[in-house]
Chains A and B, each alone.
Chain A
């Protein structure tokens, strides 16, 4: 085999490798789906962000319009500060509200946008206060138990005796 053809084959080999990297990066991973250039940033304050993670999607009416860029704690308000990178061609009225929702019963959490009716639109760098925290399952269950207990306590007494009697 000549020198030239070996060089050609090695060139093809390296090109195949590059094609593999491009395939993995673009088709099999999330590079290029949202580049930083065409987004604007909003800052949202939540009482409790639940299990929200960086890079979680921001959805409006179920359509992904951005990503969570950063999460930190406000040391004065003790609120979770979530930075959202939203696609530049999507605008929301200033009286829209943000909620942290869960996709499916056990799925990942995401930020949902409920659009308002105002004529003014959010601009880059705005901070959003109309937010609703994530639903924490434990507090939901404990609320449920407390309300049950309150109902049982309110009813005239002999609950344990009655259940014992049925057996």
Chain B
């Protein structure tokens, strides 16, 4: 009985310790951001590493998702004679949900892991400690540019994912199946609202970019300075970032789209 209570107490304290650690790390990171902004080239180089190099996988996945979504929706809608609404359904599902969420999951896998591994190895090679010795703050020199770059890159990637997905759906629906092009676009235009659907999708993707980059940086910075430590950190980045994104997506959807 006492062992049970001990265990409960230990776990609660551990949870609080981890939460506090995240919070202090976050505050440090925010405090380091102005210094990073004063050297914008660092941020630009990281946007290149995080954003530009993720472009191929994001565009390819967006195209594939658009193709498949158009085909599946066509099979379902054609029974009701509503195949013209296909564009609207594809657009809403991409801009509201799939664009931000799938991009965030791919982003965690493509960019998050590389951030964690890079920073974990820097730590294992004692580069961060060396920077500290030279009075260079590793948080503002290494972490903050990556953090800002992640937050900037993610919405751009999500918007591109949605756009390419819609174009992919257009290719399948209009060019291959033969849905009327005018109806495809006009039903889409009458049903999609810029602020409500597209704007909220972009807000979502900014939040997800924030989650993914923060988790990746934290796991890299706090990884044990061994090969296993870095490996565990990378795994945890993908798991925690993906779960965080999915849970946050539910909360955001409930807040944004509760009124019809």
Which residues of A come within 8 Å of B, CB atoms?
Answer: 3, 6-7, 9-10, 12-14, 16-17, 19-21, 23-25, 27-31, 33, 55, 57
Contacts and interface: CB of A to CB of B under 8 A. Distances in A.
Contact of A28 (B55, B160, B189): B189
Contacts of A19: 163
A112 B257 CA distance: 30
B51 interface: yes
Contact of B156 (A7, A20, A25): A20
B188 A6 contact: no
B171 interface: no
A6 B156 contact: no
Contacts of B153: 13
Contact of B194 (A7, A10, A14, A31): A31
Contacts of A23: 163, 166
A18 B193 CA distance: 18
B193 A6 contact: no
A61 B42 CA distance: 60
A70 to B, nearest CB: 15
Interface string B191-206: 0111001100010000
Contact of B48 (A10, A24, A29, A33): A10
A24 B156 contact: no
B196 to A, nearest CB: 9
B189 A29 contact: yes
Nearest to B40: A7
Nearest to A23: B163
Given A29-B189, A57-B190, A24 B45 contact: no
Contacts of A6: 44-45, 48
Dominant SS among interface residues on chain B: helix
A16 B160 contact: yes
> Which 6 pairs from chain A and chain B are nearest by CB?
A17-B156, A20-B159, A29-B192, A20-B163, A31-B194, A29-B194
Interface string B162-198: 1100100000000000000000010011101110011
Contacts, number: 79
B162 A20 contact: yes
14 contacts: A6-B48, A7-B41, A10-B44, A13-B51, A13-B55, A13-B156, A21-B202, A28-B95, A28-B188, A28-B189, A29-B193, A29-B198, A30-B190, A30-B194
Contacts of A14: 47, 156
Interface residues of B, number: 29
B161 to A, nearest CB: 9
Nearest to A6: B48
A19 B194 CA distance: 15
A80 to B, nearest CB: 18
A20 B162 CA distance: 8
Given A13-B55, A28-B192, 18 more contacts: A6-B45, A12-B52, A13-B156, A14-B47, A19-B163, A20-B156, A20-B159, A20-B163, A21-B159, A21-B202, A24-B194, A24-B198, A25-B194, A28-B91, A28-B189, A30-B190, A31-B194, A33-B189
A99 B207 CA distance: 45
A18 to B, nearest CB: 8
Contacts of B188: 28-29
B155 interface: yes
Contacts of B51: 10, 13
A7 B155 CA distance: 19
Nearest to A3: B41
Contacts of B166: 23-24, 28
Contacts of A33: 189
